[in-house]
Amino acid sequence: MPRSNVCIKELLEKNPIKTSAPSRIDSGGTWDIKALALPLEVVDPVTVNLAISLRTYVTLLPYKSGWVRISSDNFDTQEAYPLDKAPFNSQFGLFFAIASFFRFHGLEIEIRSTSPVNAGLGGSSTAAVATLKAFSVVKSLLHENEINNEDILHLAYHLEDAVNGGMCGMQDHGAAVFGGVNKWSLHYSRRERPFKRESILDENGQKEISKRILVAYSGRKHLSARINRLWIEKFLQGETRSGWIEVNNIVSRFASHIKERRWNKAVQELINEVAIRKKLTPEAFTPIITRLIEESEKAGCGARFTGAGGGGAVWALGEIDTIQRLREIWAYILKGAKGGGILECNVDPIGVRVLL
């Protein structure tokens, strides 16, 4: 039987619900998109990501019965629609789709992010995960079963992939759900569990790598769906397939070096990945991203755009002293980029959580 619509206005008047989840930096992104990973599952598609302490906060507040409103501190506009007339292709379409899935109304979803909007740090996926966690709390208050973390990951990915026409991967949601530093193996042919998560650094290792990373925003937003669509089309045509397989091999080695804390070897693999991506994905490299990466390599570090690039953020890995020197270099370069600058953060060991 289809679930009836449920007004949660009165529940939220008594119990506003607040959750948060971490964003991420990554290596090997794109391989988590089904169009690449499923046909070439034989190569064991992998990505690596580090959850970072630039968290997104979601608060569920009461709103008028029958309606859902979405607001965000990163956008000037709000959107409010009756539940059954809410668009899934608008600026906040993903969140209307989540509300529609649960049939909840009489609420506002308020989103606040501590990372720049459209920075390639997995922002929309992080907000989706935090929203699903909040809705899990609602289910508990309605005396229904809560949603476990693996199911939150499953739902967040499939809902976002659906409203974006198949252009999404799973790794962003994974970092938001679990936190930490993880290697993700993608096996979409498996009916029950299409991913395998391997935590490759314990708490001490996460503290070590936090001293060796640097994250910066280029000052320019990116649009990942447009860039991903172009890459997938070339892959499906067979033009770039061998290059993507080599990227996957590099990322597998990168994961092994991170796990064993062979930092210099991990730096070299990051450099190797970027060298191939310059040929495979030239759209990812804006002039300022190119300069930031080149300066990092001159300083003895490896650096990579986050997500699909084409703007957004860049992150670097290196020894502690070289990262400190690179911080000064990047800060100088980014003085001329409106809105650009160093993003202060560490590896976040905690995934999505409810805030009391």
Q: How far apart, in Å, are the Cα atoms of 207 and each of 213, 285, 314?
A: 11, 30, 20
Regarding whether 51 and 94 lie in a shared domain, the answer is yes
pLDDT for the residue numbered 2: 63
pLDDT for the residue numbered 229: 85
pLDDT at 1 over 60: no
| Of residues 221, 353, 345, the one with CA closest to residue 288 | 221
- The 10s digit of each residue's pLDDT in 99-123 is 999 999 999 999 999 999 889 999 9
Give the domain-ending residue among 183, 203, 223. Answer: 203
- The 10s digit of each residue's pLDDT in 292-314 is 999 999 999 999 999 888 889 99
- The 10s digit of each residue's pLDDT in 48-87 is 999 999 999 999 999 999 999 999 987 778 999 999 999 9
Give the domain-ending residue among 155, 179, 203. Answer: 203
Is residue 166 situated within a structural domain? yes
Residue by residue, what is the 3-state secondary structure of 288-349? Answer: HHHHHHHHHHHCCCEEEECCCCCCCEEEEECCHHHHHHHHHHHHHHHCCCCCCEECCCCECC
Regarding whether 244 and 169 lie in a shared domain, the answer is no
| Of residues 253, 247, 276, the one with CA closest to residue 265 | 253
**What average pLDDT is seen over the chain?**
95
Regarding whether 105 and 208 lie in a shared domain, the answer is no
Regarding whether 225 and 319 lie in a shared domain, the answer is yes
pLDDT at 8 over 80: yes
Q: How far apart are CA 138 and CA 15, in angstroms?
A: 9
Mean pLDDT, rounded, for 134-155: 97
Regarding whether 195 and 167 lie in a shared domain, the answer is yes
Structure tokens of 143?
Answer: 């005396």
Q: Are 125 and 171 within 8 A, CB to CB?
A: no
Regarding whether 151 and 26 lie in a shared domain, the answer is yes
- Kindly state the percentage of the chain with pLDDT values over 70: 99
pLDDT at 178 over 60: yes
Give the domain-ending residue among 178, 203, 228. Answer: 203
Q: Picking from 51-60, 201-210, 215-224, which range would have the lowest pLDDT averaged per residue?
A: 215-224
Is residue 1 situated within a structural domain? no
Quote the domain boundaries for residue 252.
Answer: 204-342
Regarding whether 108 and 192 lie in a shared domain, the answer is yes
Residue by residue, what is the 3-state secondary structure of 174-243? Answer: HHHHHCCEEEEEECCCCCCCCEEEEECCCHHHHHHHHCCEEEEECCCCCCHHHHHHHHHHHHHHCCCHHH
Regarding whether 143 and 210 lie in a shared domain, the answer is no
Whether the pTM exceeds 0.75: the reply is yes
Regarding whether 168 and 73 lie in a shared domain, the answer is yes
Is residue 319 situated within a structural domain? yes
